[in-house]
Chains A and B, each alone.
Chain A
Amino acid sequence: MRPQTGWLSLVSACGALLLLCGVTPAPAQQAQVGNVIGHAAAGKPLYTRYCAGCHGDDGDARGENAQWIDPKPRDFTLAVFKCRSTPTGTLPTDQDLFDAMTRGFVTTNMPAWLPLTPHNRVDLVAYIKTFSPKWKTGKPGTPITIPPEPAATIASVLHGRQLFQKMECWKCHGPAGHGDGPSAKTLTDNKDDPIRPYDFSSGSRFMCGVTNRDLYRIFMTGLDGTPMPSFADDIKPADAWDLVHFLRTLQPLDTPEAAIWKAWLASHAGELKPIGPEGSGQ
């Protein structure tokens, strides 16, 4: 019994010392998604079980599996996130992190965490936010405003195609969206690791969702930490929907935009100038 008593008194002494020094535990980090409140303390054991293998115990992307993974797991200590509703350079909302975890990341090792309950996932969001002091000093950005989507027309698709040329999307994504533009092979992320641009011809879902609205958000907010910049300062909202409509025609999918495009191409293909280096566009 003696050793135990000694241990107990040591613990209480430490407690008294903490009180004396005025050290109080920081309020538990929380996250909120809808009506669900998540707590970092509840997220921690979940993180250790499901996430630490890749993202590391300290959230620094140095888990034991990380060395075998390409692209590398997210480093939560940087607080830089690809899929956000908020402007480039700002913190994402809790909903953004929750959605990313729920969706997983296509073409990476990050699966969709649907087996975890929504409450589990909100707890995990709260815990992920403990890895960087930026969550204490800063707030999430204000989500960008996305106006309602107008109906796709051949005019919007053609204008979107002009923007694809003018904004030089093709430099990385390639003239036909195959991810094979002249800069594609040289791209690196914020840790200098090679990274590939999205290949529209793969027909896969996008990095941050599947809908037209997700696509709009991707190029307007940019994917922070990657070479994909934000175009929010350069593309007006109405023009952005035109670009969305054109980008849909690059996918081998039966989308409404693709149907409009194919019908038009059947009789007008000869009028199109190829997309690519100067002098060849429009």
Chain B
Amino acid sequence: MRRQYIWIVGAVGLVGSALGARGAPPAMAGAISGKVTYTGTPPKMKPIDMAKEPSCAKQHATPVTTENVVTGPGNALGYVVVYISAGDAGSSAPSEAVRYDQKGCQYIPHVAVMQVSQPLEIYNDDQTSHNIHPLAKANPEWNKSQPIGAPPIHTTWEKPEFIPVKCNVHPWMHGWFLVLTTSHYAVTGEDGGFSVKGLPPGKYTLTAWQEQFGTQTQDVTISGTETKTVDFVFKARAY
């Protein structure tokens, strides 16, 4: 019996290391997938005038717009972060870094999700200086310059927090660092779809966050290897 137990632990460990730093997946894992949509009229995203920064303006054939409400066909909502806000046993942060780019005077991705203590690397790919100013409150608020050709900034966040990020030189640049305690999260694409995988059987609270429309939660119970379907509908406000 004992030998068998060791064998199982060893096998799980092997699979876990094969998958990298994400940790060993549970022997039995379910998932939650679904779609995030809106009702009502979402605000129109404003075109960004980058005339003051020609090196960025010329990177965009068509003017880019603000990204605080990104929509897709079928009333889909993009850049919604769906994550387990309660019921997760927690896991240590993966060692692989989350990459955050400043490119064409935009933040890519607009919303970057990471775990507490997970490495974050911030790159300046532009031919202009940026300053990265994460407006943290629970974590330290810092503000660093990153000139042309400067190496990436390596950092971590030690407390869970949703941190707005801005560049003071280019006031249209606005993004988010979402620092979570859970490794179970997903960010919706323009189709509004998401899938949160690797959930051991249990009771969970699933939260969906949209930067302008706030948060919604639903309780979900996972048993076995099932994939539960959970949809979120946000009420869009024009302003």
- B142 to A89, Cβ gap below 8 A? yes
- B142 to A224, Cβ gap below 8 A? yes
Most interface-central of B54, B55, B147, B170 (chain A CB within 10 A): B147
- B135 to A168, Cβ gap below 8 A? no
Q: Does A78 contact B (CB under 8 A)?
A: yes
- A182 to B150, Cβ gap below 8 A? no
A3 CB → nearest B CB, Å: 46
| Residue in chain A with minimal CB distance to B166 | A188
List of A residues within 8 angstroms of B147 by Cβ: 166-168, 234
In the assembled complex, the Cα of A226 lies from the Cα of B128 at a distance in Å of 20
Q: Does B129 contact A (CB under 8 A)?
A: yes
- B143 to A224, Cβ gap below 8 A? yes
Give the dominant DSSP class at A's interface: loop
In the assembled complex, the Cα of A141 lies from the Cα of B153 at a distance in Å of 19
The proximity string for B residues 143-161 relative to A, scoring 1 for CB distances below 8 Å and 0 otherwise, is 1111110100100000000
The proximity string for A residues 205-229 relative to B, scoring 1 for CB distances below 8 Å and 0 otherwise, is 0000000000000000010111111
Q: Does B169 contact A (CB under 8 A)?
A: yes
| Residue in chain B with minimal CB distance to A167 | B147
- B55 to A229, Cβ gap below 8 A? no
List of B residues within 8 angstroms of A232 by Cβ: 144
List of B residues within 8 angstroms of A166 by Cβ: 147-148
- A168 to B128, Cβ gap below 8 A? yes
Q: Does B133 contact A (CB under 8 A)?
A: yes
The proximity string for B residues 109-142 relative to A, scoring 1 for CB distances below 8 Å and 0 otherwise, is 0000000000000000001110111010100111
In the assembled complex, the Cα of A124 lies from the Cα of B24 at a distance in Å of 52
In the assembled complex, the Cα of A87 lies from the Cα of B168 at a distance in Å of 19
Number of interface residues of B (CB under 8 A): 26
Q: Does A88 contact B (CB under 8 A)?
A: yes
Q: Does A113 contact B (CB under 8 A)?
A: no
List of B residues within 8 angstroms of A172 by Cβ: 168-169
A143 CB → nearest B CB, Å: 16
Q: Does B3 contact A (CB under 8 A)?
A: no
List of B residues within 8 angstroms of A231 by Cβ: 145
- A233 to B153, Cβ gap below 8 A? yes
Among A186, A187, A230, the residue within 8 A (CB) of B142 is A230
- B141 to A229, Cβ gap below 8 A? no
Give the dominant DSSP class at B's interface: loop
Among A89, A182, A234, the residue within 8 A (CB) of B141 is A89
- A234 and B169 in contact (CB under 8 A), knowing A227-B133, A229-B131? no
B166 CB → nearest A CB, Å: 8
In the assembled complex, the Cα of A229 lies from the Cα of B141 at a distance in Å of 11
List of A residues within 8 angstroms of B127 by Cβ: 278
- A230 and B145 in contact (CB under 8 A), knowing A90-B140, A168-B129, A183-B171? yes
The proximity string for A residues 71-87 relative to B, scoring 1 for CB distances below 8 Å and 0 otherwise, is 00000001010000001
Q: Does B2 contact A (CB under 8 A)?
A: no
In the assembled complex, the Cα of A233 lies from the Cα of B127 at a distance in Å of 18
- A190 to B144, Cβ gap below 8 A? no
B140 CB → nearest A CB, Å: 4
- A171 to B169, Cβ gap below 8 A? yes
| Residue in chain B with minimal CB distance to A231 | B145
- B137 to A78, Cβ gap below 8 A? yes
Q: Does A277 contact B (CB under 8 A)?
A: yes
- B144 to A230, Cβ gap below 8 A? yes
| Residue in chain B with minimal CB distance to A189 | B168
Near B by CB (< 8 A), chain A positions 230-269 give 230-234
- B142 to A190, Cβ gap below 8 A? no
B10 CB → nearest A CB, Å: 40
- B146 to A80, Cβ gap below 8 A? no
- A278 and B54 in contact (CB under 8 A), knowing A190-B135, A233-B150, A234-B150? yes
In the assembled complex, the Cα of A138 lies from the Cα of B141 at a distance in Å of 13
In the assembled complex, the Cα of A166 lies from the Cα of B128 at a distance in Å of 9
In the assembled complex, the Cα of A90 lies from the Cα of B168 at a distance in Å of 20
| Residue in chain B with minimal CB distance to A233 | B144
Closest 10 CB pairs of A and B: A89-B142, A227-B168, A89-B140, A229-B131, A186-B171, A168-B129, A229-B145, A88-B142, A229-B143, A182-B52
Give me 13 A-to-B residue pairs in the complex whose CB atoms sit less than 8 angstroms apart, sorted by A's number.
A80-B141, A88-B144, A89-B141, A167-B129, A171-B169, A190-B135, A224-B143, A227-B169, A228-B143, A229-B144, A230-B144, A233-B150, A278-B55
- List 5 other contacts, CB 8 Å, given A171-B129, A182-B52, A224-B143: A89-B142, A187-B168, A230-B142, A277-B54, A278-B54
* A interface residues with partner B (beta carbon < 8 Å): 78, 80, 87-90, 138, 166-168, 171-172, 182-183, 186-188, 190, 222, 224-234, 277-278
